[in-house]
């Protein structure tokens, strides 16, 4: 059966009409009937083409193929909620197929080495068509293995609607390459929402005379240090720990962080001092607004201040140096047993942390609080970008499907990653089966279900919809409107987000620079050398193996030897060329 959808038809006609009227220098500008004829002609062409489609698509329309179709897709499989057969036989992937007539051929790799594995597949020409969960597409652009998706977003009505409705173009400009195109369909956020923060044992802080809620609006990392000194003294006095023990031992920083960056904690702390570190190290560059140029952040005084503060926590017996070597579970177990008073957490893990505390310490025997992130030398929260990880599309898909088949697949991708319908499905499951929606729009899981990924607890006998069927996983729902992003927030998390929004500002966007293929290759070589040097020295400074006061100049010289200054010079040349 052939279909033509009016909403899609009109959107397509508008795109073609705009391209004709706005993009063609030879177009008539006097409102003549000739221009009208051109526009009318374009509408007719689009109508005829749309009549031939063998699938439904459009804004607020469920994508559906007349004939069964199969697309390959990579999948980042998290070990703490590993994919099961039921996800495909009765869960998320079956739901997608039932609605769209698209079967996803899922190629799964453990999240710990997902990026390395898909890079090997892509470079060998064996890529899946759809490549989600990509944070940095730079390594794939120059070889031509992925499509310049910005050439094709005109065929994606849900994507285009979000871009226009929330003024995303300036954000998208930050991922444009030297050819003026971008190669990743990013997750887009109406506004930044802080995810990672510190979960504290409020009962221990209160007993030590520290009222976090009263001081967090303006507290700094120095204040956090002073608070933890008091908390440790209290815990030692009560025999909970000894003087040689640490009151803070964190996760997402140690043996499971394979890039040696120091992970989440150093990212959060670095941002408070206006530098990139840990997970956010990137190429180390930061933008100096006063000088209107990029500088290598790790050799600045800001980075020295951040490292000095981080090392103070270790030197003062507060932060466990094993934070940077231990596995995640070891860090969690120390907190669950009541041996530490602070642990990093994100929204999806909050409920799990609380459940484990209940099991180890007993419900009612403790109190927790999600604290606003401390400040360093600015009032910015750690999150400032409205772009998330995103989806690349393999050139292989275009080559094998042909342009019409490729556009069809893109319209499926548009529905799956950018429609409200698919957002709800991938996050919550099936309405009326797994969750209900109240008259005011509030979503609730139905009796018998729980979901760690949504932060929604339940009874031991309840089925976790993420573990059993793959909903609320990290591959497919991210970004979205504020209403979508917060529709699962339980009161403690909603309260934390409201406080973050009230107490912290959003950092302005930095300008962008776009190296060409050869410059990008040169910069990647410099980046690898310089960033490896920074990561190695940073962890040694923080854990006391090197002394910041006496060896700082040696560190700066090591960065220069690793071509940090050459990288800054090259980047500024590219930046000024594009202004």
- Residue 316's pLDDT is 98
Are the C-beta atoms of 223 and 374 separated by less than 8 Å? yes
Q: What is the mean pLDDT of residues 137-148?
A: 89
pLDDT at 342 over 70: yes
Q: 262 pLDDT band (50/70/90 cuts)? A: very high
Q: Considering the chain, what percentage of its residues have pLDDT values greater than 90?
A: 79
Q: What is the total residue count of the chain?
A: 579
Lowest mean pLDDT among 12-16, 259-263, 474-478: 12-16
Q: Considering the chain, what percentage of its residues have pLDDT values greater than 70?
A: 91
Q: What is the mean pLDDT of the chain?
A: 90
Residue 525 phi, psi dihedral angles, 5° rounding:
-65, -45
Q: In a 3-state reduction of DSSP, which class is residue 480?
A: strand
- Residue 41's pLDDT is 38
pLDDT at 314 over 60: yes
- Residue 138's pLDDT is 83
Q: In a 3-state reduction of DSSP, which class is residue 394?
A: strand
Distance from the Cα of residue 320 to its chain's centroid: 27
Lowest mean pLDDT among 13-17, 171-175, 200-204, 495-499: 13-17
Q: In a 3-state reduction of DSSP, which class is residue 293?
A: strand
- Residue 412's pLDDT is 98
Query: How, if at all, do strands 449-450 and 463-464 pair?
Result: parallel
The residues, ordered by sequence, that sit 6+ positions from 61 with a Cβ below 8 Å of its Cβ are: 5, 7, 8
Residue 172 CB neighbour total at 10 angstroms: 18
- Residue 141's pLDDT is 86
- Architecture per CATH, domain 66-191+387-424, reads as 3-Layer(aba) Sandwich (3.40)
Are the C-beta atoms of 246 and 236 separated by less than 8 Å? no
Return the structure tokens found at 564. 């940090």
State the Cα–Cα distance between residues 256 and 271, nearest whole angstrom.
22
Q: 50 pLDDT band (50/70/90 cuts)? A: low
Domain 197-382+536-544: give its CATH code: 3.40.190.10
pLDDT digits (tens, 9 = 90+) for 405-451: 999 999 999 999 999 999 999 999 999 999 999 999 999 999 999 99
- Residue 48's pLDDT is 39
Buried b (16+ CB within 10 A) or exposed e, 101-131: bbbbebbbbebeebbebbeebbeeeebbbbb
- Residue 15's pLDDT is 39
pLDDT digits (tens, 9 = 90+) for 351-372: 889 999 999 999 999 999 999 9
Residue 509 phi, psi dihedral angles, 5° rounding:
-70, 140
- Residue 23's pLDDT is 37
pLDDT digits (tens, 9 = 90+) for 59-96: 999 999 999 999 999 999 998 899 999 999 999 999 99
pLDDT at 46 over 50: no
Q: 10 pLDDT band (50/70/90 cuts)? A: very low
Q: Is 373 exposed, middle or buried (0-12, 13-18, 19+ CB in 10 A)?
A: buried
State the Cα–Cα distance between residues 207 and 127, nearest whole angstrom.
56
State the Cα–Cα distance between residues 324 and 335, nearest whole angstrom.
16
- Residue 384's pLDDT is 86
Q: 287 pLDDT band (50/70/90 cuts)? A: very high
DSSP string, 175-234: G--TTS----EEEEBSS-----EEEEEHHHHHHTT--HHHHTTT-BHHHHHHHHHHHHHH
pLDDT at 29 over 80: no
Q: 520 pLDDT band (50/70/90 cuts)? A: confident
Q: What is the DSSP letter of 131?
A: E
Q: 474 pLDDT band (50/70/90 cuts)? A: confident
Residue 32 phi, psi dihedral angles, 5° rounding:
-70, 165
- Residue 468's pLDDT is 98
pLDDT at 17 over 70: no
Return the structure tokens found at 182. 């971008």
DSSP string, 5-74: -HHHHHHHHHHHHHHHHHH-TTS--S--HHHHHHHHHHHHHHHHHHHT-SEE--TT---EESS-EEEEEE
Sign of the alpha-carbon torsion through 469, 472, 474, 475: positive
Return the structure tokens found at 355. 């459940």
Are the C-beta atoms of 109 and 74 separated by less than 8 Å? yes
Sign of the alpha-carbon torsion through 323, 324, 325, 328: positive
Which of residues 158 and 458 earns the better pLDDT score?
Answer: 158
Q: What's the whole-model pTM score?
A: 0.78
pLDDT digits (tens, 9 = 90+) for 529-540: 999 999 999 999
């Amino acid at each position: 059966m052939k279909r033509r959808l009016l909403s899609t038809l009109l959107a397509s006609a508008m795109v073609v009409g705009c391209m004709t009227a706005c993009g063609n220098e030879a177009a008539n500008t006097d409102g003549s009937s000739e221009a009208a004829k051109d526009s009318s002609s374009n509408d007719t062409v689009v109508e005829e083409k749309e009549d031939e489609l063998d699938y439904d698509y459009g804004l607020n329309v469920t994508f559906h193929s007349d004939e069964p179709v199969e697309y390959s897709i990579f999948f980042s499989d998290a070990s703490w909620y590993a994919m099961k057969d039921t996800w495909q036989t009765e869960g998320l992937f079956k739901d997608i197929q039932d609605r769209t007539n698209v079967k996803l051929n899922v190629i799964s790799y453990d999240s710990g080495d997902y990026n390395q594995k898909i890079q090997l597949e892509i470079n060998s020409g064996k890529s899946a068509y759809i490549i989600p969960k990509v944070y940095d597409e730079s390594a794939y652009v120059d070889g031509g293995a992925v499509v310049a998706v910005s050439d094709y977003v005109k065929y994606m009505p849900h994507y285009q609607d979000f871009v226009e409705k929330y003024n995303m173009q300036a954000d998208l400009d930050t991922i444009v390459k030297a050819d003026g195109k971008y190669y990743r369909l990013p997750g887009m956020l109406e506004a930044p929402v802080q995810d990672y923060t510190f979960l504290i044992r409020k009962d221990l802080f209160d007993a030590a005379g520290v009222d976090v809620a009263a001081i967090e609006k303006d507290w700094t990392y120095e204040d956090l240090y002073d608070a933890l000194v008091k908390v440790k003294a209290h815990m030692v006095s009560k025999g909970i720990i000894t003087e040689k023990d640490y009151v803070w031992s964190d996760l997402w920083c140690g043996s499971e962080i394979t890039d040696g960056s120091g992970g989440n904690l150093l990212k959060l702390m670095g941002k408070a001092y206006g530098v990139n570190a840990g997970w956010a190290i990137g190429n180390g560059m930061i933008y100096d607004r006063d000088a209107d140029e990029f500088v290598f952040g790790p050799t600045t005084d800001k980075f020295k201040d951040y490292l000095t503060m981080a090392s103070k926590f270790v030197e003062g017996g507060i932060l466990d140096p094993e934070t940077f070597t231990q596995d995640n579970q070891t860090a969690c177990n120390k907190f669950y047993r009541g041996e530490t008073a602070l642990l990093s957490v994100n929204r999806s893990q909050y409920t799990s942390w609380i459940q484990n505390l209940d099991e180890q310490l007993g419900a009612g025997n403790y109190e927790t609080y999600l604290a606003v992130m401390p400040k360093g030398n600015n009032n910015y929260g750690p999150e400032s970008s409205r772009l998330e990880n995103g989806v690349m599309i393999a050139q292989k898909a275009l080559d094998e499907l042909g342009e019409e088949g490729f556009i069809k697949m893109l319209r499926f991708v548009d529905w799956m990653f950018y429609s409200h319908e698919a957002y709800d499905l991938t996050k919550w499951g099936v309405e009326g089966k797994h969750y209900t929606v109240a008259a005011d729009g509030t979503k609730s899981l139905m009796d018998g279900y729980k979901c760690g990924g949504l932060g929604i607890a339940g009874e031991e006998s309840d089925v976790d919809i993420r573990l059993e069927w793959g909903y609320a996983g990290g591959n497919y729902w991210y970004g979205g409107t504020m209403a979508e992003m917060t529709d699962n927030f339980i009161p403690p998390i909603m309260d934390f987000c409201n406080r973050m929004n009230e107490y912290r500002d959003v950092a302005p966007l930095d300008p962008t620079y776009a190296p060409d293929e050869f410059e990008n290759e040169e910069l990647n070589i410099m980046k690898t050398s310089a960033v490896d040097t920074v990561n190695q020295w940073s962890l040694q400074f923080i854990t006391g193996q090197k002394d910041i006061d006496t060896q700082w100049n040696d560190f700066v010289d090591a960065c220069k030897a690793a071509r940090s200054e050459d990288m800054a010079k090259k980047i500024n040349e590219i930046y000024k060329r594009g202004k």
